[in-house]
Amino acid sequence: MHELSIAQGILDIIRENIPQGDGAKVKVVRLRIGAMAGVVPDSLDFCFSAITQGTPMERAALEIEHIPLTAHCLGCGKDSEIEPTLFACPLCGGLDLTVLTGRELQVREIEIDDMSGANS
Amino acid sequence: MSVITIERKVLEKNDEIAHQNRALFARHGTFVCNVVSSPGSGKTSILERTLEHLAGRLKVAVIEGDVQTDLDAQRVAKFNVPAVQIITAGGCHLEANLVREALKNLDLSATQLLVIENVGNLVCPANYDLGEAMKIVVASTTEGDDKPLKYPGMFRNASVLIINKIDLVPYLNCSPAQLRENALRINPSLVVFETSCTTGEGIGPWCDWLQRQCAPAATP
């Protein structure tokens, strides 16, 4: 259950990036999460909604861009998507792989409703 | 509606502190390993046998991570090495800032080898850099030989695999050869040891290898 500390990390990063004092509400949080990042999206969603209650991020939707595990095969020299439980090049069966993507855990952008302050 | 581009790594704070820890270890010439496994695989038992074996050969210190109790630090302290217990109180892994705090209670200049025993968990500790030189993953024969395939992230990030409880193989439906093959498939560069803390089998080669990773003690 390290999703709680990840949710806290996301919250901290957003706090540093939202405009202060104008009642802006965060509507969408866009994340980039790799297949090998070890994050369960449902748990993250649950933790994030729990810790954002009473903050400008309350009820914000988490939109996750899933990044597949891809690797460069040193055997055949080609890049491909890798099955995490096999960890072999799907083209030549080679095991000598350099991981290219799949470890991402990033906050990409947020969408803000800046009018909520003016309307209230 | 407006969109604010952020593009930041969620774990960047942890990575920053881990980087500082690593620089500190380098300054003192301390070799640091982060020992990870599922609960009950024998991390603390291997540590006990290792401390026994390295007594008088290396200056060792230990950081113990557990969800509750300081039982492991008590076990380790019997070997007359400095030991600090981190209690995560529910947290399923150690983070770099917890290690940084624990370091305040250790004299790194008098430490050639620092062993950090992580919380028993094969998922979360894989993603948190503590500043260590390498991760050492322990998989015991009682857990079955398919663990590397189920938890590829951890086996991919480790440098060493210790297959523990090797003495129990006759009673189990687990093949150490298959376990090794599965692990090497996920990570061909793993250095593999087979140990038994009950019979002492394999502890010598593991400790000799570990000692070779450490810098010689500075002459006073």
CB contact under 8 Å between A107 and B10, yes or no, is yes
Tokens 């991402």, residue located: A104
- Superfamily (CATH H level) for B12-211: P-loop containing nucleotide triphosphate hydrolases (3.40.50.300)
* Strand-by-strand arrangement of the A25-34 sheet: A61-67, A25-34, A105-113, B2-9
For B201, how many CA atoms within 13 A lie in the half-sphere containing its CB?
12
Written as one string, the DSSP assignment of B87-115 is E-TT-SS--HHHHHHHHTTS-GGG-SEEE
- Chain B segment 142-171 residues within 8 A of A by beta carbon are 149-150, 152-153, 156
Q: Is the pLDDT of residue B188 over 80?
A: yes
- Number of inter-chain CB pairs under 8 A, A vs B: 89
Q: Is the pLDDT of residue B144 over 90?
A: yes
Mean pLDDT score, B180-205: 96
Q: B150 to chain A, minimum CA–CA distance in Å?
A: 7
* CA dist., res. B83 & res. B10, Å (int): 31
Q: Which pLDDT score is estimated for B216?
A: 79
- Chain B segment 64-103 residues within 8 A of A by beta carbon are 91-93, 95
Q: Is the pLDDT of residue B220 over 70?
A: no
Tokens of A91: 């083209």
Question: Which of A78-87, B30-39, B159-168 has the weakest average pLDDT?
Answer: A78-87
Enter the ipTM. Answer: 0.85
B199 at A interface, C-beta within 8 A: no
Structural fold of domain A3-69+102-115: hypothetical protein PF0899 fold (3.30.2320)
Q: Is the pLDDT of residue B91 over 90?
A: no
Q: Is the pLDDT of residue A1 over 70?
A: no
Mean pLDDT score, B67-83: 92
Mean of per-residue pLDDT scores for chain B: 94
Q: What is the pLDDT of residues A63-119, one digit of tens each?
A: 999 999 999 999 999 999 999 888 899 999 998 899 999 999 999 999 998 765 444
Cβ-contact A110, B6 below 8 angstroms:
yes
CB contact under 8 Å between B6 and A108, yes or no, is yes
* CA dist., res. B13 & res. B41, Å (int): 30
Nearest CB partner across the interface for A10, out of B10, B93, B153? B10
Q: Is the pLDDT of residue A2 over 60?
A: yes
Give percent of chain A with pLDDT exceeding 70.
94
CB contact under 8 Å between A87 and B13, yes or no, is no
Mean pLDDT score, B74-91: 92
* CA dist., res. A72 & res. B176, Å (int): 29
Q: Which pLDDT score is estimated for B112?
A: 97
Q: What is the DSSP letter of B133?
A: S
Mean pLDDT score, B135-159: 95
B123 at A interface, C-beta within 8 A: yes
Q: Which pLDDT score is estimated for A115?
A: 67
Q: Which pLDDT score is estimated for A120?
A: 41
| CA angle at B154 for the pair A37 and A48, rounded to the nearest 5° | 35
Q: What are the φ/ψ torsions at residue B2 (nearest 5 degrees)?
A: -140, 155
Mean of per-residue pLDDT scores for chain A: 90
State which residue of chain A sits closest to B149, comparing Cα positions. A85
Q: Is the pLDDT of residue B90 over 50?
A: yes
Q: Which pLDDT score is estimated for B197?
A: 98
Tokens 């991981």, residue located: A99
State which residue of chain B sits closest to A19, comparing Cα positions. B4
Q: B26 to chain A, minimum CA–CA distance in Å?
A: 26
Q: Which pLDDT score is estimated for B1?
A: 83
Q: Which pLDDT score is estimated for A116?
A: 54
CB contact under 8 Å between A2 and B11, yes or no, is no
Mean pLDDT score, B160-178: 97
Encode A25-59: b = buried (16+ Cβ within 10 Å), e = exposed.
Answer: bbbebbbbbbbbbbbeeeebeebbbebbeeebbee
Q: What is the pLDDT of residues B102-120, one digit of tens each?
A: 999 999 999 999 999 999 9
Question: Which of A35-39, A114-118, B165-169, B176-180 has the weakest average pLDDT?
Answer: A114-118
Residues of A with CB under 8 A from a CB of B: 1-2, 5-6, 9-10, 12-14, 17-18, 27, 31, 36-38, 84-88, 95-96, 99, 105-115
The SS3 call for residue A108 is strand
Helical segments of chain A, H only: 3-15, 41-51, 115-119
Q: What are the φ/ψ torsions at residue B144 (nearest 5 degrees)?
A: 95, 165
Q: Which pLDDT score is estimated for B219?
A: 54
* CA dist., res. B70 & res. B78, Å (int): 13
pLDDT band at B47; cut points 50, 70, 90: very high
CB contact under 8 Å between B6 and A109, yes or no, is yes
Q: Is the pLDDT of residue B190 over 90?
A: yes
What are the structural domain ranges in chain B? 12-211
What are the structural domain ranges in chain A? 3-69+102-115
